[in-house]
Structure 1
Amino acid sequence: MTYYLLPNTSFLIHKNIDCIFTKNVPEVKYSNSLSYYLYNIKTQIDYHEKDWDIYKKYTNPYEYIHTSVPYKRKSISKHKPLSRSFFKMIEMINTFNIRYDSTPIKTFHLAEGPGGFIEALAMDRENKDDVYIGMTLIDNNNDPNIPGWKKTTHFLNKYENVFIETGKDGTGNILSIDNFKYCNELYANSMDIITADGGFDFSLDFNKQEIAISRLLYAQICFALIMQKKEGTFILKIFDCFMEHSVDLLYILSSFYDKVYLIKPQTSRYANSEKYVVCKGFLFDTNVHFFPFLLNAFEKMLSEEDHIHRFLNIPVSYYFINKIEEYNAIFGQQQIENIHYTISLIENLYKQDKIDNLIKVNIQKCIQWCMKHNISREPTVPLDEPFSRESREPTVPLDEPSLLDEEVIFGDDSREPTVPLDEPSLLDGVVFGDDSRESMEPTVPLDEPSLLDEEVIFGDDSRESREPREPTVPLDEPSLLDGVVFGDDSRESREPTVPLDEPSLLDEEVIFGDDSRESREPREPTVPLDEPSLLD
């Protein structure tokens, strides 16, 4: 997995934190070309809304760590966590070595429901003296877009050191000044690890997520900075970074932490804009000096409904901007390629073989990921079984011939049931690519001579005009047709041939090749040269 380090900035930048508004919708400031192509391809997702949620899982290499493999009813990971975020946290813990092994720790988790990050830390550390606190919006209306604590009953019973914080107003709302002050009073400068995994349902408009998330991002950063302990770690989920307010937030974080990294975990779907900021080494002992500036900007942000333009009243350094654009290009290119490939797969008419191959390859990647991060695995899914779509008939094992064999292997839905090739029939012509099946006569086995032999062997289509031929004569038996050996077609006028090892009156013609056979006089049998005679 690859991660990228952001440049450090001045630690006095907190004095310039502000909230500046604009009446107009914020425009892209950085990575203009990339944002244009990314926004354009995201709009194409709307044309495939029904299929997108299905096919995006096929093109995500690490999907089946948590999601069930198609038609297998189980995922690769044996552990079934509260949410997918569990695997992202495990990945970041191992990548950045986010461990405090010496003493018990305290952690705070913003927008945490249903608790995947807490579960990952608790399972990784297995320390009963740790304290894990989660805070998320309390849902009393069963809103499916609000991931609350409904799934956590068993988890909370198992880990007694996990607590739920609802804030001063009892709502768990992070966008609240009262809850912000309340957390400062209770948890100021005390948390070793803080995570913020807040987000919205952006499926209605993927291109508006950077604008919609701006207030929530700033609120999460404010909560983290006032509660963070010196040398502590903060993990924040962000999205696109094309606008000034997004870059301002990264600039602020770089002034509060020793190291700030950008990373997209392998377990985060490639097609979305989700990334994580991992901040290590908090620089301040106390929040007394910067708390008033954070609070002032927080109050301004909640008092206005206009769009947020910036969170700083000073310009960002060019070097920092260049690094942001460089990282945007890396993450954005991967995202564009994945979206484009997913859409092309949706539009492809002959895609079942590609889908089956993707599933097999991705299963292997998921197994390797689990081995790398010490996650227990289910027994491996057999890769030699075809993976079929919902609209298809149940697949037939490839080693058992059936009428569906050709459909499963070649993906052709318009074919008639095939006939086994080892049984001759009227359809045998399909072996030679001849589609005129109705007009063909039953084929004759090639090892039995017949009147049709020459037609089958030589591919002569002029079958109707040919005269029936006599059965062929074995070449080792002399007959009137022996002349065919010499390529002579005048078979009817030839005399039976004479074996060459018996002398005759025709020997000279054969030996000397003299064609003037009619004018020659018959000769006497030759006399051996070693016996005297009248001709000596």
Structure 2
Amino acid sequence: MMDCDEQKYRDNAQLLPLQYQLPVAFKSSRQVGKNQRTIKKHQKHNEMVSATVQKMFNKHVKIDNKNCELPTIDTMFIDDPWIIEDLKELKKHLNEIKSKLNDYNLMEWRSHTRKRNYAGDIIWRVRKEINPEFPTQAWCKFYENLSFYKLIPEKSLYEKQLKSIHLCEAPGAFVTALNHWLKLNAPLINWDWTATTLNPSYEGNSPSFMLNDDRFILHTTNNWYFGADNTGNLMNLKNLDSFIELEKENRDKIMLITADGSIDCLHTPDEQEKIVSHLHYCETITALHLLNKNGNFIIKLFTIFEYQTICLMYLLSCCFNEISIRKPATSKEGNSEIYVICLDFKGSDYISPYLNIFRKHYEKFTDRTMFQKNDIPDSFIEQIIKSGELFKSHQCDVILNNIRTFNTETNEDCMNVKRIRRATADYFIKFCKLEKLPFKDMQIVGTDILNQSCCQILDNRYNYDSYNERHVKGSLKPEDRLLILFEDLQSINITIDTETIENIQFIDDKPEVLKMSTAISYENIQSSKFCQPKVMRIYNSAFEIKNQLISNWQYPNDKAIGNLIKINTNDNNKYLVFHYTVKYDGFNVIEKIYTAITNLKLDQTLVLIGYSLLSQFNVGIFYFLAHTFKHIEMQFDNELGCVITLYNYICLQSVIEYLKEIFDASIVAKNSDKIILSVLSVARLCECNLHHKLLDINNFIVKNFVNKLIMSINNAKSE
């Protein structure tokens, strides 16, 4: 027996592209024969296209979980890791196929696979014909799953009340996709949502673990929760507890939870499942704490070969009445991504006796298995093996086909791909019953607002070397790695075309009201709204090499600073000296600046040397300083970096009070292992007219930092 969703799919499959109806001219038997051959040829093409599209949308398995029951607590997390030999062989075969890609240039390979992606026309067709809010691949994947499964429970539709939780949600496309679906299919429902993700404004978070596009987040800040420590780290138990506390009044309304988390496994693609497994564990345990009875949960996984994932799948199969695994047509065909759809949660009464043991292993990965192998029915393991084989085979077929056509693609290949892409997009739009929203105010933020956002969208995927080339580079000596970093920097464009930028101004005449936020302390700045991820990674790598080779070296050095001060012997100038660093030094910054400002006289000039403009905190302090001087200029010097000169101090009392408040708060934060993360909203700083200049300034500083470091290392060798 097919369930109604599967029947819906079978019915819609008949809507695939119709046969071309070609006229036949009855002029001669030769012409008739030619036309008949043409018709047969088109029919053959259409049959191939139809079969391919059906296969694209038919990558799903329903798990029979009737015999799945959780074992007693005393048998959990006590076994040594175990393996399933059949799954081990599947993993081995998949990695053998993936290893064939080790010598391919990543950029060239991505370009090739993008052109051959059968679902490649869907996004631009959706953008063109539907114009939804935030149309990304994630948007299409979730909308497809929403259309294939009943992810919105009948209870929510009947009561016209829905609360959804979205874990690891950045940049927010699942939220906008759900909004679009609800507006078309359940317009009367009262919907509320909360999302969490690694905080893109917390500079201690690495770009490898998060998406840097926060246009949607900045416009929906009140709907996002970044935990007790403001990092957004879901794998922190305190953050889980504070999230539960935040949503305790909504518990009976939370009927849908999504989890779309991942970790960059570019350097270890053969162990992607293991690397991401603990994140998936934390996502699942969070859902089990928050979800209401009969609610639904959808989570992204990557293959199902390891004991960690098998145990997680069994846990879900015990806690939900229906379980399916699906690879959406809009998911990139050559990757291992799958979605587990969990319907009809059994409720807190069923799972609450187990939550304490799950919490015990929440923060730290354990080398013990969640379940003993004997506690999982053989019939369940057999289903996992069959599912693993299905998705592995599809992935391998795609990879091998892409290898076959790399640089050898024929015109016929290209035409076939175009036909399939067109038919796939047609079917997607028809199957999902996609339509434009009738009114723009039905969107959450609005397409126009998001498209016009001034916030910089920075791509954190910059490494285009092959897998083998990356490993060779990783084994080089520090000096050689530094030279490669310098070469990488040459591709970064700097639009500063003068040695001095004058009349530096922010848009507003009066400073914004102080808006402080705190977070748990971190050591190094890993990401910045004012620096490209590629440049930030290079900067951090250069500091690691510096600490290995010449740890006492500083930029700018004392000699260059002394020369500048000696040349400018104006008694009216006050100099504040810093040194460029990737370490968070907010307390040192505010202490120096507050002390200097309180002792500054009217019309005096303040000169900042080596002042970092990487962190929100430093840029926010600079924002307030800019309102207390009549004129500001930035000078670019290879020896000193960027020298900021603030002329004619005007003593704005409100700014003095703000700086005092920041200084006092910094002392409190320091004593409790916290930092002042920001003093203004990041949206305000990113929307100012100085933002693009700050990107260039930091590019300039990093380039000079690496160049001077190379020179210093060479000088040290020659001495």
Using structure 1 for the length normalisation, give the TM-score: 0.62
State whether residues 17 and 293 of structure 1, in contact with CA within 8 Å, keep that contact through their aligned partners in structure 2.
Answer: no
Q: CA deviation at 1:224?
A: 0.4
Asked if the contact 2:172/2:217 (under 8 Å) is kept, the reply is: no
1:17–1:297 CA contact under 8 A, matched in 2: no
Q: What is the distance in 1 between the residues matched to 2:142 and 2:333? A: 17
Once the two structures are TM-superposed, the CA of residue 267 in structure 1 deviates from its matched residue by 0.8
Distance 1:41 1:76 in 2: 38
The one-letter code matched in structure 1 to 2:215 is K
Aligned twin of 1:96: 149
How far the C-alpha of 1:10 sits from its partner, in A, is 4.1
User: What is the alpha-carbon distance in structure 1 between the residues aligned to residue 117 and residue 69 of structure 2?
Assistant: 39
Pair 1:147 & 2:205 matched: no
Cα distance in 1 for residues equivalent to 2:193 and 2:75: 30
Q: Helix, strand or coil for the counterpart of 2:414? A: helix
The count of corresponding residues between Structure 1 and Structure 2 is: 361
Name 1:393's counterpart in structure 2.
none
Q: What's the CA shift for 1:172?
A: 1.1
Q: What CA distance in whole angstroms lies between the structure 2 residues aligned with 1:279 and 1:107? A: 15
How has the CA–CA distance of structure 1 residues 76 and 21 changed in structure 2, closer, same or farther, with 3 Å as cutoff?
farther
Which of 102, 112, 122 is the equivalent residue of 1:46?
102
CA distance in 1, matches of 2:286, 2:128: 36
Q: Does 1:112 align with 2:169?
A: yes
Letter in 2 for 1:254: S
Partner of residue 291, structure 1: 355
- Alpha-carbon distance in 1 for matches of 2:129, 2:102: 31
C-alpha deviation, 1:55, in angstroms: 1.5
Report the equivalent of 2:694. Answer: none
Tell whether the 8 Å contact from 1:64 to 1:76 is kept in structure 2 after alignment: no
Q: Select 1:203's aligned residue among 266, 269, 274.
A: 266
SS at match of 2:223: strand
Deviations 1:354-402 (A, max 9, x none): 234412431232122112212348xxxxxxxxxxxxxxxxxxxxxxxxx
Corresponding residue number in structure 2 for 1:371:
430
Partner residue in 2 for 1:391: none
Could you tell me how far 1:58 is from its partner in structure 2?
2.5
**297, 310, 323: which one aligns with 1:234:** 297
How far apart, in 1, do the equivalents of 2:242 and 2:405 lie? 51
Once the two structures are superposed, residues 247-277 of structure 1 have per-residue CA deviations (whole angstroms, 9 ceiling, x without a partner) of: 0100011111111111111111111110011
Q: Which residue of 2 aligns with 1:56?
A: 113
2:71 is aligned, of 13, 25, 33, to: 13
Show the 5 A alignment for 1:38-437.
38-50=94-106, 51-66=108-123, 78-79=131-132, 81-99=134-152, 100-102=156-158, 103-126=160-183, 129-139=190-200, 140-141=202-203, 144-145=207-208, 146-147=210-211, 150-152=214-216, 156=220, 163-187=223-247, 189-190=251-252, 191-286=254-349, 288-299=352-363, 301-302=364-365, 308=367, 310-315=369-374, 316-348=376-408, 351-376=410-435
Match of 2:715 in 1: none
State how far apart, in whole Å, the 2-side matches of 1:215 and 1:107 are: 23
Distance 1:237 1:372, change over 3 A: same
- Partner Cα distance (1:249, 1:148) in 2: 29
The answer to whether residue 60 in structure 2 is matched with residue 36 in structure 1 is: no
Q: Aligned partners of 1:90 and 1:14: how far apart in 2?
A: 38
Paired residues of 1:261 and 1:279 also in contact (CA < 8 A): yes
SS at match of 1:294: helix
Instruction: Read off the aligned partner of 1:61 and give its amino acid letter.
Output: Y
Alpha-carbon separation, structure 2, partners of 1:251 and 1:264: 19
Give distance in 2, aligned partners of 1:12 and 1:248: 11
Cα separation, partners in 2 of 1:181 and 1:80, compared to 1, 3 Å: closer
Secondary structure of 1:231's aligned partner: coil
Report deviation, 1:81.
2.3
Q: Provide the C-alpha distance between the structure 2 equivalents of 1:75 and 1:45, rounded to a whole number of angstroms.
A: 34
Measure how far apart 1:193 and its partner are.
Answer: 0.2
Partners of 1:313 and 1:21 lie apart in 2 by: 6
| Cα drift, residue 66 of structure 1 | 1.5
Distance 1:220 1:38, change over 3 A: same
Percent same amino acid at aligned positions?
22
CA, structure 1 residues 187+288, in 2 after alignment: closer, same or farther (shift >3 Å)? farther
In structure 2, C-alpha distance between the alignment counterparts of 1:11 and 1:322, rounded to whole Å: 17
Q: Any idea what SS the aligned residue of 1:219 has?
A: helix
Cα 1:347–1:311 change in 2 (3 A) is: farther
Q: Which runs of 5+ in 1 are unaligned?
A: 378-536
State the shift of 1:94 in Å.
1.4
Distance in 1, Cα, partners of 2:318 & 2:100? 39
Deviation (angstroms), 1:98: 1.9
> What amino acid sits opposite 1:203 in the alignment?
L
Work out the CA distance in 1 between the residues paired with 2:128 and 2:71. Answer: 47
Which consecutive residues of structure 2, in runs of 5 or more, have no partner in the other structure? 1-56, 437-719
Shift of 1:148: 5.0
Tell me which amino acid in the other structure corresponds to 1:257.
Answer: F
- Cα pair 1:272 1:335 within 8 Å, conserved: yes
Per-residue CA deviations over 1:442-493 (Å, capped at 9, x if unaligned) read xxxxxxxxxxxxxxxxxxxxxxxxxxxxxxxxxxxxxxxxxxxxxxxxxxxx
SS for the counterpart of 2:353 is coil
For the pair shown, which has the larger CA radius of gyration, 1 or 2? 1
**Residue pair 1:106, 1:131 contacting (<8 A) in 2 also:** yes
- Aligned to 1:62, the other structure's residue is in SS state coil
Comparing both chains, which one has the higher relative contact order based on Cα–Cα distances under 8 Å and sequence gaps of 6 or more?
Answer: 1
**Structure 1 residues 283, 148: CA separation in 2 closer, same or farther (over 3 Å shift)?**
farther
Distance verdict in 2 for CA 1:76–1:42, change over 3 Å: farther
- Maintained 8 Å contact 2:122/2:424: no
